């Protein structure tokens, strides 16, 4: 199974269906089911990287859409759900064409360079029981068993 590791709160936003486009500096030809792994990076490290104001804004929105009230409560170091990649295009090709690209979506992604790539996501699923596992960079393969895990 293909897996992508993301920082929180982006991983949770993707499997909840709040975030509908994943932005990357690289394209993928892969289409299909993609397991989402929440990186083990601590919330304190993430806040340092994305900034406290951005972290607060994203977490407040996430708390209105889910049972999570703080970035501290989110799962870390685990596969937390799955989505489906249905398309991948350079951002400059889709900015006015994909209805998902709105002000909310732009706030959840990195649209700073139109040369970046937008991965169109569908069919989000949250696992009731996250699967603890070490993540990796890029798309990676996991051969684990998900029977009864979600």
- Residue 23 makes CB contacts below 8 A (sequence gap 6+) with 91, 109, 110, 111, 116, 117, 118, 119
Extents of the domains making up the chain: 2-138
> 81-139, pLDDT tens digit by residue?
999 999 999 988 877 787 777 777 777 778 788 889 999 999 999 999 999 999 999 99
User: Residue 149's beta-bridge partner residues?
Assistant: none
> Which structure tokens are listed for 18?
């709040």
Give pTM, 2 decimals: 0.85
Class of domain 2-138: mainly beta
**pLDDT tens readout for residues 7-48:** 888 899 899 998 899 999 999 999 999 999 999 988 788 778
Look at residue 72 and tell me whether its pLDDT is greater than 90: no
Residue 147: predicted pLDDT = 58
Alpha-carbon Rg for the chain, nearest whole angstrom, is 15
- Could you give the C-alpha distances from 36 to 79, 98, 122, in angstroms and in order? 6, 22, 13
pLDDT in the model for residue 55 = 75
Nearest to 31 by CA among 90, 86, 88: 86
- The yes-or-no verdict on residue 150 having pLDDT over 90 is no
Q: What integer pLDDT is reported at residue 123 of this predicted model? A: 98
Q: What is the DSSP letter of 54?
A: H
């Amino acid at each position: 199974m293909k897996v992508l590791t993301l920082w929180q709160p982006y991983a949770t936003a993707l499997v909840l269906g709040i975030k509908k486009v994943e932005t990357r500096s690289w394209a993928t030809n892969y289409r299909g089911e993609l397991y989402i792994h929440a990186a083990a990076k601590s919330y304190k490290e993430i806040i340092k990287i994305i900034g406290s104001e951005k972290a607060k804004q994203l977490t407040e929105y996430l708390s209105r859409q889910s049972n999570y009230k703080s970035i501290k409560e989110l799962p870390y170091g685990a596969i937390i759900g799955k989505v489906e990649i249905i398309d991948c295009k350079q951002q400059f090709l889709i900015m006015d064409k994909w209805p998902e690209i709105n002000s909310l979506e732009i706030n959840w992604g990195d649209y700073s360079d139109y040369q970046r790539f937008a991965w169109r996501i569908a069919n989000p699923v949250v696992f009731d029981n996250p699967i603890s596992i070490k993540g990796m960079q890029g798309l990676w393969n996991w051969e684990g068993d998900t029977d009864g895990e979600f």
